[in-house]
Chain A
């Protein structure tokens, strides 16, 4: 079972360029999330989606956008990257209410460096 797949695993990006981090899950989970993790800090929520067609802002949404056209995919876009967006990005998903243990399933992360 693939679970959650993130791509790319690593990327170096020039400041001002745009970038989309891809996230795909094959578990038919309704909810999906994007977190960023900076050195020495915990994970911070960027955006989330409770179900296909809906999205919401997390703790640090500025400079990022997301879309949820279908259940499986939840891409994160940086329209104009800045060096402060250098981070490791984790995508996660969780099952719907009623079938949930509350467990989040995480991908392996995408390491982004903005120069």
Chain B
């Protein structure tokens, strides 16, 4: 699986959009980009994933660059409850392979 690079920490004001970047310059054609988050000491939670097209769901939007070497997770209106560690993971979507977690980005939403 391709390696990802994320900033260790970010701050965001409550109510503003949080844009979390991820670099995956060695991504191959059949690898998906996944985003998970971990709130405090809870188990990680799936947010969104995509291959090449931008994706949106009720939680977030995922913007993948045309060359697929980087992506951005967007939380459109961050709340205090969005304070968490966000993990960007690249993986072939086999449905049975484990995810490899890096150290992620710690997002602190400020009131």
| Among candidates B46, B49, B95, B104, residue contacting A96 with C-beta atoms closer than 8 Å | B95
Chain B neighbourhood of A111, CB < 8 A: 41
B44 part of interface (Cβ distance < 8 Å): yes
| Among candidates B41, B44, B94, residue contacting A104 with C-beta atoms closer than 8 Å | B44
Q: Is the interface of A mostly helix, strand, loop or mixed?
A: loop
Cβ contacts B77-97/A at 8 Å (1 or 0 each): 000000000010001011110
* B56-89 interface (Cβ within 8 A of A): 87
CB-CB nearest in chain B for A98: B95
Q: Once the chains bind, are A45 and B43 in contact (CB under 8 Å)?
A: no
A42 part of interface (Cβ distance < 8 Å): yes
Size class of the B contact interface (CB-based, 8 Å): 20 to 34
Chain A proximity of B18: nearest CB distance (Å): 20
* A33-47 interface (Cβ within 8 A of B): 33, 35, 40-45
Count contacts between A and B, CB distance < 8 Å.
Answer: 69
B9 part of interface (Cβ distance < 8 Å): no
Q: Once the chains bind, are B98 and A102 in contact (CB under 8 Å)?
A: no
Q: Once the chains bind, are B98 and A45 in contact (CB under 8 Å)?
A: yes
Chain A neighbourhood of B45, CB < 8 A: 106
Which of A13-21, A71-79, A87-95 participates in binding chain B?
A: A87-95
Q: Once the chains bind, are B93 and A100 in contact (CB under 8 Å)?
A: yes
Chain A neighbourhood of B101, CB < 8 A: 35, 42-44
Known contacts A42-B102, A42-B103, A102-B32: A97-B43 contact under CB 8 Å: no
Known contacts A41-B103, A106-B45, A109-B43: A99-B95 contact under CB 8 Å: yes
| Among candidates B34, B36, B91, B96, residue contacting A97 with C-beta atoms closer than 8 Å | B96
Between-chain CB contacts (< 8 Å), 14 pairs: A31-B96, A33-B98, A42-B104, A44-B101, A50-B96, A88-B41, A92-B98, A95-B95, A100-B95, A100-B96, A102-B49, A105-B46, A106-B45, A109-B41
Q: A35-B98, A102-B32 are in contact. List 18 more A-B contacts (CB 8 A).
A: A35-B101, A42-B102, A45-B100, A58-B98, A59-B100, A88-B41, A90-B44, A92-B98, A94-B95, A100-B95, A100-B96, A104-B36, A104-B44, A104-B46, A104-B99, A107-B43, A108-B42, A111-B41
